Amino acid sequence: MSFQESPRAAEEEETFYVHCRAAYLAVFRSSLANISSKQQLCRVLQQAGRNPSHATLNKYWTNRTAKLNFDDFCEILKCEKKTEEIDLMRAFKKMDVNGDGYISHSELEMALTTRGEKMTNEEMNAIFSLADVNKDGKLDYAEINHLVIGQNGIMSTPAVSCVIRKIKAVGGIILTASHNPGGPNGDFGIKYNISSGGPAPEGITNKIFDISKNLQEYLICPELKVDLSKIGKQTFEVDTFKPFTVEIVDSVEAYAEMLRGIFDFAALKELLSGPNHINVRLDAMHGVVGPYVKKIVCEELGSPANSAVNCVPQEDFGGHHPDPNLTYAADLVNTMKGGEYDFGAAFDGDGDRNMVLGKHGFFVNPSDSVAVIAANITGIPYFQKTGVKGLARSMPTSGALDNVAKALKMQLYETPTGWKFFGNLMDAGKLSLCGEESFGTGSDHIREKDGLWAVLAWLSILATRKQSVEEIMKDHWQKFGRNFFTRYDYEEVDSDAANKMIKDLETTMFDASFVGKKFSSGDKTYEVAVADNFAYTDPVDGSVSKNQGLRIIFSDGSRIIFRLSGTGSAGATIRLYIDSYEKDPQKIYQDPQVREMRIAQ
């Protein structure tokens, strides 16, 4: 099937197809699925912002049509004009006969049963019932435009993703410093998540940026005072929206409800507050996850109140850097070294990253963390119900997850850095668990990294296996081997010099004689099996991401990776990742830094 393509500038094609795919996946699990009915065609067109009439649907779905595929859908969208907000407002005002800002049942009946393509009373009543969300007997524009905010303006990034998916919002805006220093003189970012709950892809964010450059004016409502502390709906009279509704919701409850359906809370409560409970220390680093830790881990699961620290969110994170690693969570590390606590964890500013520690400060590398969760994943109730569809890691992350996937015969995906690549796989039903070396772990329960979810996954493993963090980790290495992993960041490097270094590396690596070359480090010899610049073809939509980093892969799975980022006035950053695999049981307990230093030399 083919339809005439409207003219479209080449630079808009990428954004167009991103929108097409987002609309398609809102209705179907995969872009490979077919549209099999006129009703499905109508739904997916509406998801793409079109408002198809019966005539439009009959134009594309005739008596001889059996199915349409994703490409057909894209062709249709090129021919059909998007319904803009101004068009909706114009239509709304036409039906709002008395101009009171509402459409009554009688006004809608007159519009739908006497004008244009006339509907039956039964059809009209069904539409009115669906659209009248608050069942007050009338429709208002606020039931199309509805703003939901977490109580006191606080909501973690994972919770935002959860709420977007739960209420089927068109998207969400997150104001965050993430894992960077915050406050008046600190970092601040504006992030947009789409209807799947995941970060907006580049095609959308680039379009937003392009539009922002052409804005001539914007309207504000300085008199509109919203009480962020009061749960419930607050209604305001605003010229454009009559009325404008702001709904304040409990920041924690929807997220907590989701977690109750994922984990065995009874087993976790026994672990944290039963007769043989373990002692935990959780550091929220004055980020937004503090209230979640307090309500879920302390109040609901029974861990003592003093087991959670720095749980009051502060705009400057208490003057600290809210990045959960050995450097910035040093207070937690030192506390754990005392031996009083069996399990420790730290969270970043917006709650999507985490660090796990065992007794005496035993450090769990993020790459190992996701591998251990994968190896024990079937012990978590959520995955007992859904099954394990696949595992994924970002390319720089160590191969520890690969070892688990191979041993347990699970599908593994290696993606570029960026959570959007995981989201594509999840939306297509191909991925259950994923992680990255920068302290991010998550699953398909939402479309973001999730720090507290990862910590509860670890606690679930402790509850099931009745072992310490260190014992679990060492048993894992004995079974799957160990990936000694280290990352080095060389910041503010001269851009020209950095680019020259990468070019020189490419010249050496891409020489035909390089593959097969052997390098020795101590008593170990590494033979080059692959040398390339990583490229990724998305198995869902076929998009290709090139030049993602130089990889030297050795025959035993060990790797050295170089990535260059940033070429601004502050210079470039060169990231070096060293991933050395060891399966000899006598060597898996070596000091990672010493071992990696030998390899680097």
Cβ distance 486 to 560 under 8 Å?
Answer: no
Query: Where in the chain are the domains?
Result: 10-79, 85-143, 146-253, 483-600
The pLDDT score that the predictor gives to residue 97 is 63
Cβ distance 428 to 438 under 8 Å?
Answer: no
The helix (run of H) or strand (run of E) holding residue 114 is helix 105-114
- CATH of 146-253, picked from 3.40.120.10, 3.40.50.300, 1.20.1250.30, 3.90.120.10, is 3.40.120.10
Give the three-class secondary structure for 417: coil
User: Which range, of 108-117, 298-307, 568-577, averages the lowest pLDDT?
Assistant: 108-117
Largest CA distance in the chain: 87
Q: Is the pLDDT of residue 4 over 50?
A: no
The pLDDT score that the predictor gives to residue 41 is 92
**Do the first three CATH levels of 10-79 and 85-143 match, i.e. the same topology?**
yes
In this prediction, residue 587 has a pLDDT band, given cuts at 50, 70 and 90, of: confident
Mean pLDDT of the chain: 86
**What is the Cα–Cα distance from 135 to 308, expressed in whole angstroms?**
42
Q: Is 545 a catalytic residue?
A: no
- Choose between 213 and 473: higher pLDDT: 473
Phi and psi (nearest 5°) for 264? -85, 95
Domain 483-600 homologous superfamily, CATH: Alpha-D-phosphohexomutase, C-terminal domain (3.30.310.50)
User: Which range, of 63-77, 370-384, 469-483, 584-598, averages the lowest pLDDT?
Assistant: 584-598
Going 50 to 55 to 60 to 62, the CA torsion angle's sign is positive
Sequence-distant (6+) residues with CB within 8 A of 26 are 44, 47, 195, 196
Cα distances (angstroms) measured from residue 280 to each of 181, 188, 419, 459, 529: 26, 31, 29, 10, 44
Reference 360, options 456, 468, 283; nearest CA is 468
Find the distance separating the first CA and the last CA of the chain, reported in whole Å.
Answer: 59
Q: Is the pLDDT of residue 105 over 80?
A: no
The pLDDT score that the predictor gives to residue 2 is 40
- Choose between 151 and 176: higher pLDDT: 151
Of 8-17, 200-209, 307-316, give the range with the top mean pLDDT.
Answer: 307-316
CATH classification code of 85-143:
1.10.238.10
In this prediction, residue 121 has a pLDDT band, given cuts at 50, 70 and 90, of: low
**What is the Cα–Cα distance from 458 to 272, expressed in whole angstroms?**
13
CATH fold label, 10-79: Recoverin; domain 1 (1.10.238)
The pLDDT score that the predictor gives to residue 568 is 45
Q: What is the DSSP letter of 277?
A: P
Write down the catalytic residue from 178, 251, 369, 398. 178
